[in-house]
Amino acid sequence: MKKQFKLISLLLIAAIGLVACGGDEKGANSAAKEIAELDTNSPDGAFMASVAAMKSNDLASLIKNSLSAEQYNELVTEFENNKSTSFSEADKAQFAQTMGMLTSDGAEDTLFAMAAPQLEQARAMLPMMLMMGKDQVIQGIKNNPMLPEAQRDSAATVVGAAMDWAGENDILSEDKTKAAIAAVVSTAKALNMTSLDEVQNMSFDQALEKGSVVFGGVKDVLGAYGISMNDMLDSVEVETVDVQGDKATMNVKFDVFGEEVKQVMNMVKKDGVWVGEK
């Protein structure tokens, strides 16, 4: 994963911790106008084009504006190669069952009835779990060798702020749970998929379209809990840019859960496109 994705993903870490599944009013494929107003030949313009694409759930623009031609072709090739992976009959049955349940009449009521018995107990346990687990989780992030050292503090700040926010808000209330379920059901219906065979038969562009629907659905689920991903993305600013030939260093900041996060980002120019340095 390239560094621009790693940086943007800091905005999503808290979201992933709060929901495990997930359109946005702007809709997919609507980032073109905003991107056209940016100087994507500059490192900061290229980065902000990715942010604009995320705000519009436009995964196609996000991918195409964030990768060099070589990287893009490698990604498409990898996607096509992975399509040859065979799904087991059990996997196919599970997928069909899940999508059938999510898109059936009365799905929202059915899912809430399944969740309701655990809500009261979970609400009682959540504050203690967050209090006891916060330091351990943050320390694990700071010591995680999979994360570049320069990004560990930023990731820890995001996760810590998310856990504090979760402890201060009744995220497991009945109203929020119902709203989140409604967002999941709406997303499943918008996907309009019933089998894993459809997944294997997708083209790369079709997969990006479906991914845009899912990304918008994640935003809607988070919105049910009072979290606006677009507000976070709107707060992204590139403070300084130092360009040295085909390399650049940028200082980027954004607000998440009431915390200002700052991150140094290195970029390189490949095939005429500014991308995150490996």
Per-residue model confidence as pLDDT tens digits over 205-223: 999 999 999 999 999 999 9
So what's the pLDDT on residue 11? 37
Give 66's pLDDT tier (boundaries 50, 70, 90): confident
> Contact, 41 vs 14, CB < 8 A?
no
**Residue 203 CB partners (closer than 8 Å, separation 6+):** none
Angstrom distances, CA of residue 259 to CA of 11, 161, 238, 256, 276: 11, 7, 17, 5, 24
Q: Is the pLDDT of residue 176 over 70?
A: yes
DSSP class per residue in 30-89: --HHHHHTS-TTSHHHHHHHHHHHHHTT-HHHHHHHHS-HHHHHHHHHHHHHHTTPPPPH
Q: List the Cα angle 108/109/113 in 5-degree steps.
A: 120
Q: What percent of the chain has pLDDT over 70?
A: 89
Alpha-carbon gap, residue 60 to 75, rounded angstroms: 12
Question: What's the pLDDT at 120?
Answer: 84
Q: CB of 217 within 8 A of CB of 189?
A: no
Find the distance separating the first CA and the last CA of the chain, reported in whole Å.
8
Q: How high does pLDDT run on average in the chain?
A: 85
Count of domains forming the chain: 1
What average pLDDT does the segment 240-256 reach? 94
* Full-model pTM: 0.80
Is residue 13 pLDDT above 60, yes or no? no
Length of the chain: 278
- Host domain of residue 263: 3-276
Query: What SS3 state is found at 228?
Result: coil
